[in-house]
Structure 1
Amino acid sequence: MKHTLALLVVNRPTVLSHIAGLISRRAFNIVSIAAGPTEDPKVTRITLVVECGPEEIEQVIKQLAKLVDIIKITNLTSNKSINRELTMIKVKAAAEKRTDIVDIVNIFRAKIVDVNRETMVIELTGETDKIDALLEVLQEHGIIEIVRTGKIALGRGPEAARDMEE
Structure 2
Amino acid sequence: MRHVLSVLVNDQPRVLARVTTLLGPRNFNIESISVGESEVEGLSRMVIVTHGDEWAMEQVQKQLYKLVDVIKVNDLSDHPAVERELLLIKVGAGPTTRMEISGVVEPFRASVVDVGPNSMMVQATGERAKLDVLIELLRPYGIKEIARTGVTALSRSMAHASV
Report the TM range for the smaller structure's normalisation.
over 0.9
How far apart in 2 are the matches of 1:118 and 1:148? 22
34-43 or 80-89: bigger deviation: 34-43
Q: Deviations over 1:30-87 (max 9, x none)?
A: 0000000112221011111112223211111111111111000000012100000001
1:56-135 paired onto structure 2 within 5 Å: 56-135=56-135
| Residue 30 of structure 1: aligned partner | 30
Q: CA deviation at 1:158?
A: 5.8
| Residue 52 of structure 1: aligned partner | 52
How far apart in 1 are the matches of 2:129 and 2:42? 33
**1:8 corresponds to 2:8:** yes
How far apart in 1 are the matches of 2:35 and 2:158? 22
| Residue 162 of structure 1: aligned partner | none
Contact 1:11 1:44 in 2 (8 A): yes
Q: Deviations over 1:81-118 (max 9, x none)?
A: 00000010000002221111010111211000000110
Give ranges in structure 2 of 5+ residues lacking alignment. none
Q: CA RMSD in A?
A: 1.2
| Residue 154 of structure 1: aligned partner | 154
> What SS does structure 2 have at the residue aligned with 1:95?
coil
> What SS does structure 2 have at the residue aligned with 1:28?
coil
> What SS does structure 2 have at the residue aligned with 1:21?
helix
Name the TM-score, length of structure 2 as normaliser. 0.94
Paired residue total: 159
| Counterpart amino acid of residue 29 in structure 1 | N
How far apart in 2 are the matches of 1:21 and 1:89? 30
How far apart in 2 are the matches of 1:40 and 1:154? 15
Name the TM-score, length of structure 1 as normaliser. 0.92
| Counterpart amino acid of residue 51 in structure 1 | H
| Counterpart amino acid of residue 62 in structure 2 | K
Q: CA deviation at 1:148?
A: 0.3
How far apart in 2 are the matches of 1:8 and 1:52? 21
Contact 1:31 1:50 in 2 (8 A): yes
How far apart in 2 are the matches of 1:87 and 1:11? 26
